[in-house]
Amino acid sequence: MTAALSIRNLRKTYDNGFEALKGISLEVQQGDFFALLGPNGAGKSTTLGIVSSLVNKSAGEVEVFGHSLDSDKAKAKTCLGVVPQEFNFNQFEKVIDIVITQAGYYGIPRSLARERAEFYLKKLGLWDKRDQVSRMLSGGMKRRLMIARALVHEPQVLILDEPTAGVDIELRRSMWSFLREINAAGTTIILTTHYLEEAESLCRNIAIIDHGRIIQNTSVRELLQQLNTETFILDIDPPQGAVPSLNGYPAKLDDDHTLVVEVEKNQGLSRLFQELAEQRIEVRSMRNKANRLEELFVSLVDKNLATEATR
Amino acid sequence: MNSREIFIAFWTIVVKEVRRFTRIWPQTLLPPAITMTLYFIIFGNLIGSRIGEMGGFDYMEYIVPGLIMMSVITNSYGNVVSSFYGTKFQRHVEELLVSPIPNWVILSGYVVGGVSRGLGVGLIVTLLSLFFTDLQVHHLFVTVGTVLLTSVVFSLGGFINAVYANSFDDISIVPTFVLTPLTYLGGVFYSIQLLPEFWQGVSMLNPILYMVNTFRYGILGVSDINIVFAFGMLLVFIVALFSYSLYLLQNGKGIRA
């Protein structure tokens, strides 16, 4: 089966000499929900910019559903819908005009464009705002407007560059559910995000990019299996004045009621509870210190930073 | 994209452009109407009545074609330069860049938008001039052809200016320091026959002189220059500017990283 997106040896050097991409290659399969992660300045937006034709590449090849961005550009572009990080619509146009105009750029007749605009604006809760000038919308609404605009030509691949940045939790959840819905209907979704909880919750496959190189490209499941250590926060009773000695479990006290314990994957939790019980320490509640993917992400990026320093 | 889709995309840009300048008509259509009416009153009626004839015509009759052309030039240029720079500034040029529209269609859409405003304002000024003088069209083809080709040339010029512009100051430099002086010195208010021989020669280097005089020939039947040469020059300008604009779009100059 043809890949939804195929990138081979993609390079980008900006005019100021900064090498943003150092020959990355990756494939996103049809129907996938794919996350491209990385710290700020790692090359995520440059990669998506090249795929969306907003940034000129220095070298390499990009294909969308088998259509080359070099030799079959129009077809490749028709397969893509793009939701950028920054608001990039006319602030003086009405919401509905922005969506219908975008459909026109793809050669969609006005009557069909109007139908689709109505469908997607209703889906994204913007139909009531259709006649409002776009600059009057809230930040979350503007983001949803960009999603409606990107979907109006019904692309096979939807690219979202940090779609939920600055969006409140309730709206973020509703956007997740909408994205899951369109992914289930067959649209391949590629997103970048800084919320690793978002990637863990939504995506099946992940690539981590850092310093212009792909340092990890695998499924979320396999990635999480690499996680050796998890940190747990235990709410304990009675209060402790000093860190209890837990054989083989590195621990520290945040305060006299809060014990932070690192647990390796092969250690399990039973023996930890046994140790605590022996010292008559009761565990009232327990939670993970951080999102699991976040821990792994930080460790991979740190490791890559050390590698980059030796290059 | 097939030809029908290309036409829809082209028409979408044209409609968007026309909607833009008609929505802000107090900034785009009203000012030239007021300015030109003042020109007609002050230069045509008050001062013109003391000047007498120019090129065998009343001074008012003589300056009307030049003033119409001046409105067409500034408005065609101004429409594309401000619209396309605004598109860049607000980043909604990205809406076009991610879509499959060929670059020549994007360019043509903006040019037709500029021509629409240029011709629209030209028509308003022409109608206003009828309150001050009787306008006879001596040669319809030359009149329409000149005004159309001139507005295409200046729409393309506005597009190139917008591509290079990095600030709002950059879009007013050319109209203020290049277009306005060249237009005023392009025989709008006088015949170059009035100038000493040396300055006549210098004036012949001003392309706007050819446009104004060709248009004046279309209306009055008199001209300081060769009409065929002027048409040839307009066509050369269009081909050169269109090709250069396409090259800039193709390379993403000023619009792609």
User: Would you kindly state where each structural domain of chain B is located, as residue ranges?
Assistant: 3-251
Which residue from A minimizes the CA distance to B16?
A101
Summarize pLDDT for A12-47 with one digit per residue, the tens: 999 898 999 999 999 999 999 999 988 888 899 899
Taking an 8 Å cut-off on Cβ atoms, the answer to whether A82 and B99 are in contact is no
Closest approach of chain A CAs to the CA of B92, in angstroms? 5
Distance CA B206, CA B130 (A): 29
Distance CA B18, CA A146 (A): 24
- Read off the pLDDT band of A156 (50, 70, 90): very high
Give yes or no: residues A94 and A213 share one domain: yes
Summarize pLDDT for B178-214 with one digit per residue, the tens: 988 898 888 888 888 888 888 888 888 899 999 999 9
Q: Which of A82, A92, A101 sits opposite B98 (nearest CB)?
A: A82
Q: Does A311 score more than 70 pLDDT? A: no
Helices (H) and strands (E) in chain A, counts: 10, 14
Intra-chain end-to-end CA distance of chain A, in Å? 37
Determine whether A272 is exposed, middle or buried from the number of CB atoms within 10 Å of its CB (0-12, 13-18, 19+): buried
Residues listed for chain B? 257
Residues in chain A closer than 8 A to B98 (CB atoms): 52-54, 77, 80, 82
Task: Give domain status of residue A302, yes or no.
Answer: no
Mean pLDDT over the full length of chain A = 88
Give yes or no: residues A117 and A220 share one domain: yes
Summarize pLDDT for B100-141 with one digit per residue, the tens: 999 999 999 999 999 999 999 999 999 999 998 888 888 999
Distance CA B190, CA B200 (A): 12
Rounded to 5 degrees, φ, ψ at A149 are -65, -40
Which residue from A minimizes the CA distance to B86?
A90
Domain boundary among A178, A197, A224: A224
- Read off the pLDDT band of A295 (50, 70, 90): low
Rounded to 5 degrees, φ, ψ at A86 are -95, 150
Task: Give domain status of residue A299, yes or no.
Answer: no
Give yes or no: residues A60 and A109 share one domain: yes
Taking an 8 Å cut-off on Cβ atoms, the answer to whether B90 and A88 are in contact is yes
Taking an 8 Å cut-off on Cβ atoms, the answer to whether B257 and A14 are in contact is yes
Task: Give domain status of residue A303, yes or no.
Answer: no
Output the pLDDT for position A173: 85
Phi/psi region, residue A107 (left: phi>0; alpha: psi -120 to 50; beta: rest), is left
Summarize pLDDT for B74-84 with one digit per residue, the tens: 999 999 999 99
pLDDT, mean of residues B156-172: 94
Q: Given the structure tokens 């008199």, which residue do they identify?
A: B222
Give yes or no: residues A239 and A196 share one domain: no
CATH number, domain with residue A110: 3.40.50.300
- Say how many C-beta atoms besides its own lie within 10 A of residue B131's C-beta: 9
Name residues whose C-beta falls within 8 Å of residue B106's C-beta, 6 or more positions apart in sequence. Answer: B13, B96, B249
Report ipTM (2 d.p.): 0.88
Domain boundary among A224, A241, A268: A224
Which residue from B minimizes the CA distance to A97?
B16
Taking an 8 Å cut-off on Cβ atoms, the answer to whether B92 and A78 are in contact is no
Taking an 8 Å cut-off on Cβ atoms, the answer to whether A107 and B96 are in contact is no
Output the pLDDT for position A114: 96
Q: Does A98 score more than 80 pLDDT? A: yes
Distance CA B163, CA B246 (A): 11
Query: What pairs with residue A237 in β-bridges?
Result: A282
Q: What angle do CA B207, B208, B211 make, to 5 degrees?
A: 100
Taking an 8 Å cut-off on Cβ atoms, the answer to whether A102 and B95 are in contact is yes
Q: Does A290 score more than 90 pLDDT? A: no
Residues in chain B closer than 8 A to A55 (CB atoms): 256-257
Is some CB atom of chain A closer than 8 A to the CB atom of B35?
A: no
Q: Given the structure tokens 């503007």, which residue do they identify?
A: A142
Is some CB atom of chain A closer than 8 A to the CB atom of B3?
A: no
Q: Which of A91, A107, A149 sits opposite B9 (nearest CB)?
A: A107
Domain of residue A248 covers: 227-292
- Read off the pLDDT band of A291 (50, 70, 90): low
CATH number, domain with residue A241: 3.30.70
Rounded to 5 degrees, φ, ψ at A308 are -60, -35
Distance CA B170, CA A143 (A): 31
* Strands lying side by side in the sheet with A19-28: A19-28, A5-13, A59-64, A67-68
**Into how many domains does chain A fold?**
2
Taking an 8 Å cut-off on Cβ atoms, the answer to whether A54 and B100 are in contact is no
Share of chain A above pLDDT 70, in %: 95
Q: Given the structure tokens 């001596």, which residue do they identify?
A: B138
Give yes or no: residues A211 and A237 share one domain: no
